[in-house]
Amino acid sequence: MLVSQDEPRCTATPSRSECSSQNDHTLIEGILRLVRQQTGVDFAQYRRPTISRRIHNRMLSIGVRSLQDYWARLQADEAESMRLLERLTIKVSRFYRNACTFDVLAEEVLPWLACRRQPLRIWSAGCGCGEEAYTLAMLLEAARLPGKVEASDIDPAALAVAREGVYRREAFDELPAGLAAQLEAAGAQRYRVPAAARERVRFFRHDLGDAPPPAARFYDLICCRNVLIYFEREAQRRAFATLDEALRGDGYLCLGEAEWPLPEYVERYAPCGAKTQVFRRLQGGREGER
Ligand SMILES: C[S@@+](CC[C@H](N)C(=O)[O-])C[C@H]1O[C@@H](n2cnc3c(N)ncnc32)[C@H](O)[C@@H]1O
């Protein structure tokens, strides 16, 4: 078992409340170290308040009362690290989430890109359980555009759900009726993405926090929505550099509603309208497109 035997301890004890918060901080760092050793994922790069809330949330669901006890549980049961990983990564998503974004992609971005180059290559980075990737594939299919969607996430459990391509009815609440009509029934209140769209998507594990891009200067469109928002600034820098390297010189980047290109990139990414977080990468500065 790849675990550290060093139990995290409170080292500074100036007052009881300071000690308690210092102790919690130390224990959370110890827990994140264990998770990194056991899963390979470094959650030290994620925003602490979110991480702390999610750890406590997991403890509550399994009836563990203290961080110290939870740390001991992780030491004893390596599978618990994977379960915590699932809880630490937030996978809220829907088909056609934030409809105006997908309207812009369907009506402007995909047709514009397809006039210049085919087949289209799209990357859904931080794809969760696949809703965004399949939405993109359904749009390609509806417009009869040649193209593939590569979809990645850090969480293997989310990728397993994504590969099934079956979702509860609520996942499709925002999907326009014309696209929803193509879904296949798959049991009570459950629907499967049509085969033609499923065949366009490939799922794989990828860590935006520290892995190089799957390919450089390769993708016409990258959707990385509601992922960077959970990262600390340094991790956002690394992840954004990865996205920038993966995108073609004149490609499009689509971020989440509350996300923007980092200050050092704003000159290179022009927003497409005020209502969405879709940006066109401006040519220049980088050479070597494939
Ligand atoms: C809120 S979901 C976003 C899903 C989809 N992009 C959307 O906006 O509907 C965030 C996803 O980012 C993934 N994620 C978190 N950290 C990641 C990392 N370092 N590398 C890749 N994916 C990550 C999570 O597992 C989760 O599936």
| pLDDT for res 13 | 41
What is the block-wise mean pLDDT of the chain (290 residues), using blocks of 10 residues?
39 51 90 95 93 96 96 95 95 96 97 97 98 98 98 97 98 98 95 98 96 96 97 95 96 96 94 92 59
**Ligand 1 — pocket residues by CB below 6 A?**
89-93, 97, 126-128, 131-132, 153-155, 158, 206-209, 225-227, 256
Name the closest-CA residue to atom 3, ligand 1: 226
E strand intervals along 68-189: 120-125, 147-153, 166-168, 184-185
Residue pair 35/19 in contact (Cβ under 8 Å)? The answer is: no
Ligand 1 atom nearest the C-alpha of 131 is: 9
Dump the DSSP string for 177-209: HHHHTTPEE-STTEEE--HHHHTTEEEEE--TT
Report all structural domains of the chain as residue ranges with CATH numbers, in order of start.
16-88 (1.10.155), 99-281 (3.40.50.150)
Atom of ligand 1 at shortest range from CA of 128: 27
Q: How far is the CA of 5 from the centre of ligand 1 (A)?
A: 31
Give the C-alpha separation, 150 to 168, whole Å.
23
pLDDT, position 4: 38
pLDDT of residue 191: 98
